[in-house]
Chain A
Amino acid sequence: MTVESTAARRPRRNSSINSSTSGSSSSSDGSDGSSTSNNSGGSGGGTKRTAAKKTSKAQTAAKGSGRKSVSRPGTGRQGAGRQGAAQGKTGQHGTETEPPLVQLLSPEGERLEHPDYAVDLSAEELRGLYRDMVLTRRFDAEATALQRQGELGLWASLLGQEAAQIGSGRALHDDDYVFPTYREHGVAWCRGVDPVNLLGMFRGVNNGGWDPNSNNFHLYTIVIGSQTLHATGYAMGIAKDGADSAVIAYFGDGASSQGDVAEAFTFSAVYNAPVVFFCQNNQWAISEPTERQTRVPLYQRAQGYGFPGVRVDGNDVLACLAVTRAALERVRRGEGPMLVEAFTYRMGAHTTSDDPTKYRADEERAAWEAKDPILRLRRYLEKAGQADEAFFAALEEESEALGKRVRETVRAMPDPDGLAIFDHVYADGHALVDEERAQFAAYQASFADSDDADVTAGAGTPAGNTGGNQS
């Protein structure tokens, strides 16, 4: 298998933003002939004109609002090579100027072929992917509602990223290991983690309430990018063990700026570690668009580290499945790490505390809504006659039952006992923790009825003067 990796982009010319002479232009090879609406004012000099000023987001917004569209550097590559087949179908707005991405299912629900990535799924498997996405979205919506009702302190919605997560999650073998961010609810679903367990940390009753080794699904990691190094170390361990498992590390476009991600790329490449870096580029890191993180498409970062990268339509569950499978097979064969950039969109806010109306346009969201991952698979299933009304109705029922179960379980989730503060701080214990636990217990007991205070306070030592239990 060869993977479209990181063929050199053309030098960035005329890239001075807002320069009066650079203007904007279409790619000059004409492969994207529709993007010529503003092809004026191009600079002379005979260079390949690559106006560099607009981003995908700006373009999408502009397209959505019927305003001018502008091409961006690198568009000259579009028609070239094998990627062209899929590329032609990429943008339903007709002026897509992003680098090529792998797509196997168009937003309209048309099956596409790709020379490097193929999937051949039974109707049952397709329905399974559809069910996974629907149930994940339903769970996610329930969690958002529970936050609004005060049952959760916070929720980080995955709305819009179902295909990226289900496609990649269903590519994994049981013995593979997942290192998620805090938004991989769909991947958790694929790993068999009870969705309710994901909610403990968002409710504030724990900081991650599942056993990572039960489902080979590590705890959510909140500090951005840290988990990519853990994934790399784990993969180094797999290699030492001579096992043929693989690791997948999830991260986002914002995390791509973190030093830990750069170090993870370096370590994994140097040690040939079997890890797939799965970047969900959802276009926004809270309020910061991807162009605040990078001047090259993220998948191209891999080239500098010596491993391949590929961009996949992150709203296409089939493409995400096919590409992740191929990437996992590559790393399993000992050929070193691989970067997958799933090009998708965060349809909701960053978290329930966020207000995206402050920083992004409705038009942009609307444009992405037309590429919805669930809708496109439904269109395909219906057109291909691979799912009937009974299936969709039953799924709707299952979906509501899941919502109900989640709702009821979360509402019944008790607050932990106060002494839980001191639990599991150390594996082998620590004298100070023991001392402070005893002080806390004594303090708590001091509120009990005076008759039995002595009993509940144990030794009854006053707070602040408990004899230590030194090892």
Chain B
Amino acid sequence: MTVQKLPLAKAINESLRTALETDPKVLIMGEDVGKLGGVFRVTDGLQKDFGEDRVIDTPLAESGIIGTAIGLALRGYRPVAEIQFDGFVFPAYDQIVTQLAKMHARSLGKIKLPVVVRIPYGGGIGAVEHHSESPEALFAHVAGLKIVSPSTASDAYWMMQQAIQSDDPVIFFEPKRRYWDKAEVNTEAIPGPLHAARVAREGTDLTLVAYGPMVKVCLAAAAAAAEEGRSLEVVDLRSVSPIDFDTVQASVEKTRRLVVVHEAPVFHGSGAEIAARITERSFYHLEAPVLRVGGYHAPYPPARLEDEYLPGLDRVLDAVDRSLAY
């Protein structure tokens, strides 16, 4: 296979398969990742082909999954651990924040923990509570972790390859409502850096910054705005820690306006950090304050209300209008 049209979930599956094939130290572990292939089938068929020793169904204990992944990494393995849903990561939060993130520094660089934590995240699938959250900022605040989120099947494939190769722990947020979106994946391409942002659509009047599931919304917003004669640039951040501020800055200094969009609550979210940094870097270039569109400071709502809660085309365009009105 070289170029193939794949759903995002299948692209991750192929990426995991490639990693298992090329590096005997790579392990897959998590709840239901084996026979079932994961509740989203992201690991479908991997246990059958690589065995129970490498694709490991774990007890239902998230702290145990991450804690033992750390131990396996200390032994020289490269575990890819799945947390079944975003809202289930918190039992493992202690191990991730207290142990996984800090061990390299505590050992003065002697220990490396190449652990990937896969988390299907975000809303839009009509799920019950704890299945639709976007906790990336809670991890981005922690030094020692790297946080990425692909928006396309191609990025999903390549970013997973790079995350597994990384000697740092990577939290890999998978946009679960985009799992079925198909795109071309070239498995022989030469990928760019894992933490570089990508200009997904060029424009001149305003910059939309998004990552993961919101990139598609922003591209739709840009298409709609184009019909009204407005040229929006869309930057797919791809990485939430570190953030490629240079690419954002270059875009903003061209368009002079910035709107940041994410599903996570706006308050203390990634958008706040981007707004502050871009204000510091590009103060004299800005024609309007940086605006943010995201979730509200409320628990993720019941599914019948999630369309109201999640940033959609109209809320993005509303923010675009407000920015352009300055």
Contacts and interface: CB of A to CB of B under 8 A. Distances in A.
A237 B73 CA distance: 8
B144 A230 contact: no
B64 interface: yes
B68 A425 contact: no
A195 B282 CA distance: 52
B75 A241 contact: yes
B58 A428 contact: no
Interface in B61-97: 61, 63-64, 66-77, 91, 94-95
B75 A234 contact: yes
B317 to A, nearest CB: 29
Interface string B229-245: 00000000000011111
A427 B167 contact: yes
A259 B105 CA distance: 25
B10 interface: no
Contacts of B67: 226, 228-230, 232-233, 260, 263-264
B68 A236 contact: yes
Contacts of B63: 229, 259-260, 263
Contacts of B102: 207
B134 to A, nearest CB: 21
Interface residues of A, number: 48
Interface stretch (A135-143, A212-220, A293-301, A355-363): A212-220
A212 B95 CA distance: 19
B266 interface: no
B109 A427 contact: yes
Interface of B: 53, 58-59, 61, 63-64, 66-77, 91, 94-95, 98-99, 102-112, 143-144, 146, 166-168, 193-196, 241-247, 280-281
A423 B108 CA distance: 8
B242 A264 contact: no
B176 to A, nearest CB: 26
A30 interface: no
Nearest to B24: A240
Contacts of B98: 223, 226
Interface in A230-261: 230-238, 240-241, 259-260
A233 B106 contact: no
Given A232-B67, A234-B72, A425-B105, 9 more contacts: A233-B69, A234-B74, A234-B75, A259-B91, A424-B104, A425-B104, A426-B104, A427-B166, A471-B196
Contacts of A212: 74, 107, 110-111
Indicate the member of B64, B91, B196 with the most A CB atoms within 10 Å.
B64
B94 A226 contact: yes
Interface stretch (A38-46, A311-319, A430-438): A430-438
Indicate the member of B77, B102, B107, B241 with the most A CB atoms within 10 Å.
B107
A433 B144 CA distance: 10
A223 B76 contact: no
B105 A266 contact: no
Given A226-B99, A231-B71, A267-B68, A423 B109 contact: yes
B106 A208 contact: yes
B99 A431 contact: no
A374 B22 CA distance: 54
A225 B3 CA distance: 48
Interface of A: 206-209, 211-213, 218-219, 221, 223, 226, 228-238, 240-241, 259-260, 263-264, 266-267, 270, 423-428, 430-433, 464-465, 467-468, 470-471
Given A430-B146, A470-B244, A471-B195, A267 B59 contact: yes
Nearest to A240: B53
A427 to B, nearest CB: 4
Given A207-B106, A267-B61, A428-B168, A230 B245 contact: no
Nearest to A432: B242
Nearest to A431: B242
Contacts of B103: 219
4 residue pairs, one from A and one from B, having the closest CB atoms: A233-B71, A229-B67, A237-B75, A233-B68
B75 A471 contact: no
Contact of A211 (B61, B104, B107, B195): B107
B107 A219 contact: yes
Given A267-B61, A471-B196, A428 B53 contact: no
Nearest to A233: B71
B144 A233 contact: no
A232 B104 contact: no
Nearest to B192: A471
A266 B59 CA distance: 8
Contacts of A237: 71-72, 74-77
Given A433-B143, A470-B245, A229 B112 contact: no
A228 B68 CA distance: 9
A266 B225 CA distance: 55
Contacts of A209: 108
B107 A263 contact: no
Contacts of B280: 464-465
A223 B63 CA distance: 13
A432 B193 CA distance: 16
Nearest to A467: B246
Contacts of B246: 467-468, 470
Contact of A207 (B91, B105, B243): B105
Contact of A208 (B58, B74, B91, B107): B107
A368 to B, nearest CB: 33
Contacts of B241: 430, 432
Given A230-B74, A424-B108, A426-B144, A223 B245 contact: no
A230 B98 CA distance: 13
7 contacts: A226-B99, A234-B74, A267-B59, A423-B105, A424-B108, A430-B143, A431-B195
